[in-house]
Amino acid sequence: MSEYETVIGLEVHCELATATKLFCSCRNEFGAEPNTNTCPVCLGLPGSLPVLNERVVEYALRLGEALQFEMPAQSIFHRKNYFYPDMPKDYQVSQYDEPICVNGALDLGDARIGIERAHMEEDTGKSLHVGGGGRIHDADHSLVDYNRAGVPLMEIVSRPDIRGAEQARAYVTELRAVLETIGISDVKMEEGSMRVDANVSVRPNNREELGTKVEVKNMNSLRSLGRAIDYEVERQIGLLDSGERVVQETRHWNEEAGRTDGMRSKEEAFDYRYFPEPDLVPVRPTDEMRAVALASVPELPAARRDRLATEWGISEQDARVLTGVSGLAEYAEQAVAAGGAAKDVVNWCTGDLLGYLNETGLAPGALPLAPDGLAELVALVADGTLSRGLAKDVLNECLAEPKRPKQVVEERGLAQVSDEGELGSVVDGILAANPDDVAAYRAGDDKARKKKRGFLMGEAMKAMKGKGNPQLLNRLLDERLEP
Amino acid sequence: MPDRITRADVQHVATLARVALTDDEIDHLTGELGAILDHAAQVSALDTDGVPPTAHPLPLANVMRADTVHPSLDRDEVLGQAPAAEDGRFRVPRILGEAP
Amino acid sequence: MRSGELSAVEVAEQHLREIGARDGEIHAFNHVMRDEALAAAAEVDAAVGRGEDPGPLAGVPIALKDNLCTHGVPTTCSSKILDGWRPPYTATAVERVRAAGAVVLGKTNLDEFAMGSSTENSAFGPTRNPRDLSRVPGGSSGGSAAAVAAGFAPLALGSETGGSVRQPAALCGVVGVKPTYGAVSRYGLVAFASSLDQIGPFGATVTDAALLFDVIAGPDPLDSTSIPSPFPRVSPTLDDGINGLRIGLVEELTDAEGVAPEVVAAVERAAAALEAAGATVERLSAPSTTYGLSAYYLIAPAEASSNLARYDGVRYGLRVDGDDVADMNARTRGAGFGAEVKRRIMLGTYALSAGYYDAYYAQAQRVRTLIIRDFERAYERFDALLSPTSPTTAFELGAKTADPLAMYLNDVCTIPTNLAGHAAMSVPFGTGADGLPIGVQVLANALQEPVMFRVARVIEQSAP
Ligand SMILES: [Mg+2]
Ligand SMILES: [Zn+2]
């Protein structure tokens, strides 16, 4: 394996979060009743004409600013011609040799990944395959819904600068964070609002010339992206090691089988016959449009990580987790703003809360416990009201049904007892009731002392029903055992 | 100037253009397209060094609309025009091959 | 009707009677909208009765080329592939003539998808020239030209890609206008070649055509290629005369291949009439225009091959079943398109395909630039240009159907205007030896329709 280098370029399509489609005023909406968001334009009816959505251009320019792109004086649309039933005009309006964004880059900390271009184009409709288990090849017939046809996409094409599955995942994670931060896309791989295709090739180490690339499609999560690349790399190395050639082709990732399959397509060379779209006029970003784009780019994930690491004194790793999950950094910042100690807030966010988010699929903004609730929880631990263990129980209860931590503490009488007098008499009672253990402690070696002390502490906590302040109990016990 | 169009070219173009042609039609088209392209080849022979192509007669740019929703069509009317429909969708014969 | 002596319903009934009596032999219409027309006319009469302004075209019957979308009314493009299609929307130009009070009588025949110069390429049979039933009316808007020439409607809408309004206007002896590209919204005009297509008016007179032009021209937010500022109106200055105007006679278009001497003579007589009316006339050369036809027969089919891809049997119109979706597409298109449409789809697909794009399509677009430059130079010196519209008078049905190139040559004088995106119109000016009408073409720079119409009006007034 180590004799080969992996070379990956990623093509990311992301749907833009506009109110309407790219070229018509139909709603851009996920999950509507089939074919209810359609009009003459997005159905490609004879005589209909496209009119460009200004928000799409605004978003494209914003992306341009965020990913350090050059944005040329003029960009135009082309038609990409091919027949497919989910494409109402049997051509896709896309951009070809004059895209809106060129020569960008994304910094991953340890690597800078070049981005060749980003362009605007329209999405296709969706087909449902009937019979044959819903798979395209075995289906009896298919049903087409054009609600998605004409939804605006940005296609973001990286240079072949990515060197493995891990880096590919890091690139997509960071790109997703950027798209999300600048507010132009929902970036949900599972819903298909972000789709990633990978051009994968391998080449012997120290060779300049690129190997034959294979385009791998149909990965619908970060996890499957990583698995698909790993599989494909091994497949290609296996071919080369056994003296075979890698064939340039498109392969589909099969999630259940855990492998890529060659696409069975009809014998028909694709020749897209690109030509300038005569129904649309050029886009020439004005100074004003560029200024608006620049002003609308908020703090990007990398800058935020740097700031949080400095302001909060947290690790690069923790900062990356915060910015890698949509909305998590905002949540943490709001909790800190509400008075929560930063490090404690981050610990909760990257630990228990993240686990809960992964489990439920919720977004941080939708957590039953609002950020100021987390700040409250953190304060209850800091002032000794709750032990860390009890705090976890309280958190779980706050997540199970929307409640404030203080409310849970009151209802369940969970407040930690820190009254020295009360705890002292409990300790005294325990020592009096267990004289043999006290004697064994005093006479024993280190090992025996540790054991006996643990027993006596457990008895005391039991007597307090777990609510005794553990630090205080420990001190009181020590004072009495070693006068 | 490109070579004269052959019968095989015509067949290939018919596949690209998704038009089923009879042998007779292919024969005719091979001759006719050849003659038309010969005439059109006048332009291929012209010296146009340094002349930019005109894709569009109008000098317009930045024609855009606001991102505002307008009502869509009535689905029954839309599907009423379809050769075949099922479950609120357009029905088509099985699709061989994924989208490119 | 305009003088208030007739009601709109009476006018509509009169025209519908004419159509009923004579359209059997002419076949100008694919579809007569009798009930809709009478209802629209009654609405105009009611508006007049209520004392409202019924609009500049109140009660005037109009015929629409059958490639203009009309909500709920068959729109066929004279193709089998659109069999049964009823659009769920209406073209902007049609909305405008209706809003102006015009009464739509029906949809007129055309060469399938506007591809042709004789209206013989119709899936529903040819239209005949009302002046001589053995002759073609020209095309592709032959049905609209014939409807006006036959007196079925004083006004009609057609569409142009390479001369499809002007040429049939010339052959039928009526006025036909190709507006500046972007003057009239293309929204709802079924596309042939998007960078060339433009809707244009037909009228029995220059004044009628001007009235219709003023109604349909102007910006439309639904067409990105429509000129965004209000379009200059032509009617107010129509009779201002041409004193002092500089008119150029385009040598290459007048001496073009196949132009009959009697047609050249008519153009020269028209030029003399313009001089007599106070204009100066000079000959000029625009050499690149001789490449117009060749460039056109690469550009238009290329765009058409893409525009007509959507007729695939999935969403509307004809479907011929097949084993799988690709097979169904190919069979549908094989059965649904006529010979000329297939020819152009094939030609355009070839011209755009890998390896040929630069030699054909891109090269044609560069020639287009040269043609535009020639015209720009001409318009530095001239206010309007003059040439024949069509090389000959109307020819016999079937005379050119076997030879596509011979048919294409009909448009040699008109095509350069479409490539340039400028304005031009045809005005009847006398007849040939066969007694059939000859058309003279007036050309003008983009947005210069007011000047063009003034010149056309003088030609009309001095016609023999
Ligand atoms: Mg794409
Ligand atoms: Zn739509």
Asked if C171 contacts C148 with a C-beta cutoff of 8 angstroms, the reply is: no
- Mean pLDDT along residues A11-25: 98
Q: Which ligand is nearest to the CA of A119?
A: 1
Compute the distance between CA of residue C296 and CA of residue B43 in angstroms, rounded to an integer.
10
Q: Work out the pLDDT band at C275, boundaries 50, 70, 90.
A: very high
Judge contact between A165 and A232, C-beta under 8 A: no
**How many angstroms does the Cα of residue A28 sit away from the middle of ligand 2?**
9
For residue A283, what is the DSSP state? Answer: B
Residues of chain A with C-beta less than 8 angstroms from the C-beta of C194: 278-279
Neighbours of A111 (CB within 10 A): 13
- Residue found under tokens 């073009």: C256
Confidence of residue A214 (pLDDT cuts 50, 70, 90): very high
- Can you tell me the mean pLDDT for A242-252? 92
pLDDT at site A267? 45
Residue B88 forms contact with A (CB below 8 Å): yes
- Tell me if chain C has a CB within 8 Å of the CB of B66: no
Q: What percent of chain A has pLDDT over 90?
A: 70
Give the nearest chain B residue to A37 (CA atoms): B72
Minimal C-alpha gap between B92 and chain A (Å): 5
For chain A positions 124-183, those within 8 Å of chain C (CB to CB) are 142, 144
Distance A96 CA to ligand 1 centre (A): 10
Contact B48 C293 (CB under 8 A): no
Per-residue pLDDT for C216 more than 90?
yes
User: Is residue A216 classed as helix, strand or coil in its secondary structure?
Assistant: strand
CB contacts of B4 in chain C (<8 Å) are none
Instruction: Report pLDDT digits (tens) over C128-186.
Output: 999 999 999 999 999 999 999 999 999 999 999 999 999 999 999 999 999 999 999 99
Q: Does B100 touch chain C (CB under 8 A)?
A: no
Tally Cβ neighbours within 10 Å of residue C221.
15
Confidence of residue A266 (pLDDT cuts 50, 70, 90): very low
More confident residue, A451 or C69: C69
Q: What is the DSSP letter of A86?
A: T
Phi-psi region of A68 (alpha: psi -120 to 50; beta: other; left: phi over 0): left
Which among A33, C124, C75, C66 has a CA at the least distance from the CA of B81? C75
Percentage of chain A with pLDDT > 70? 98
* Across A272-295, average pLDDT: 97
Tell me the one-letter amino acid at A155: E
Q: What is the spatial order of strands in the sheet that A78-81 belongs to?
A: A91-94, A78-81, A275-276
Please report all neighbours of A, defined by 3+ CB atom pairs within 8 A: B, C
* pTM (predicted TM-score): 0.91
For C110-130, the DSSP string reads -SGGG--SSS-S-TT----BT
B88 has a pLDDT exceeding 90: yes
pLDDT tens, residue by residue, C367-399:
999 999 999 999 999 999 999 999 999 999 999
Q: Quick one: angle between helices C292-307 and B23-45, nearest 10?
A: 130
Nearest CA to CA, how far is A199 from chain B (Å)? 14
Residue A380: CB atoms within 10 Å? 22
Residue B96: predicted pLDDT: 87
pLDDT, tens digit (0-9, with 9 covering 90-100), for A368-415 = 999 999 999 999 998 878 888 889 989 999 999 888 999 888 888 777
Q: How many CA atoms lie within 13 A of A117 on its CB side?
A: 13
Q: What single-letter amino acid sits at A128? A: L
Answer for the pair C144, C158: CB distance below 8 angstroms, yes or no.
yes
pLDDT above 50 (res A1): no
Ligand 1 centroid vs A178 CA: distance in angstroms? Answer: 20
Higher-confidence residue: B98 or B92? B92
CA C40/CA C17 separation, integer angstroms: 17
Phi first, then psi, for residue A10 (nearest 5°) are -115, 135
In angstroms, the CA A24 to CA A144 distance is: 19
Q: What is the reported pLDDT for B2? A: 63
What does the buried/exposed string (b/e) look like for C164-180 if buried means 16 or more CB atoms within 10 Å of the residue's CB? bbbbbbbbbbbbbbbbb
For residue A418, what pLDDT is reported? 80
Q: What is the pLDDT of residues A291-336, one digit of tens each?
A: 999 999 999 999 999 999 999 999 988 999 999 888 899 999 999 9
As annotated, the active-site residues of C are: 65, 140, 164
pLDDT grade for C5, boundaries at 50, 70 and 90: confident
Residue C400 to residues A124, A151, C375, C412: CA-CA distances in angstroms? Answer: 43, 47, 31, 15
Using the structure block, give the residue that is written with the tokens 């914003």.
Answer: A62
Considering only CA atoms, which of C339, C110, C383 is closest in space to residue C242?
A: C383
Asked whether the predicted pLDDT for residue A473 surpasses 90, the reply is no
Mean pLDDT across C225-238:
96
- Candidates A22, A79, A83, A124: best to mutate against C (most CBs of C within 10 A) is A83
Q: What does DSSP say about strands C103-108 and C61-65: parallel, antiparallel, or unpaired?
A: parallel
C358 DSSP assignment: I
Where does the pLDDT of residue B1 fall: very low under 50, low under 70, confident under 90, or very high at 90 and above?
Answer: low
- Owner of token pair 């690109």: A274
DSSP conformational letter for A159: -
Quick: pLDDT tens for A48-95: 999 999 999 999 999 999 999 999 999 999 999 999 999 999 999 999
Q: Which of these, C250, C146, C177, lies nearest to C456 by C-alpha position?
A: C177
Residue by residue, what is the 3-state secondary structure of chain B?
CCCCCCHHHHHHHHHHCCCCCCHHHHHHHHHHHHHHHHHHHHHHHCCCCCCCCCCCCCCCCCCEECCCCCCCCCHHHHHHCCCCEECCEEEEECCCCCCC
Pairing of strands C198-203, C246-250: unpaired
Average pLDDT over residues A238-242: 94
Give A413's contacts (C-beta < 8 A, 6+ positions apart).
Answer: A467
As residues whose CB is below 5 A from the ion ligand 2, the structure lists A 24, 26, 39, 41-42
How many beta carbons lie within 10 A of that of residue C229, not counting itself?
A: 8
Residue A207: what pLDDT?
A: 86
Residues 288-347 of C with CB under 8 A from A: 302-303, 305-306, 309-312, 314-316, 325-326, 329
Q: Report the alpha-carbon distance of residue B37 to residue B10 in Å, rounded.
A: 13
Q: List the single range of A92-101, A301-310, C57-66, C111-120 with lowest mean pLDDT.
A: A301-310
Q: Looking at residues A273-280, what average pLDDT do you find? A: 97
Distance of CA A90 from the midpoint of ligand 1 (Å): 14
- Phi and psi at A468, nearest 5°, equal -65, 140
- C218: closest CA of chain B, how far (Å): 15
User: What are residue A196's DSSP bridge partners?
Assistant: A12, A219
- Residue C392 makes CB contacts below 8 A (sequence gap 6+) with C258, C259, C260, C263, C410, C432
What is the rounded CA–CA span in Å between residue C75 and residue C68? 7
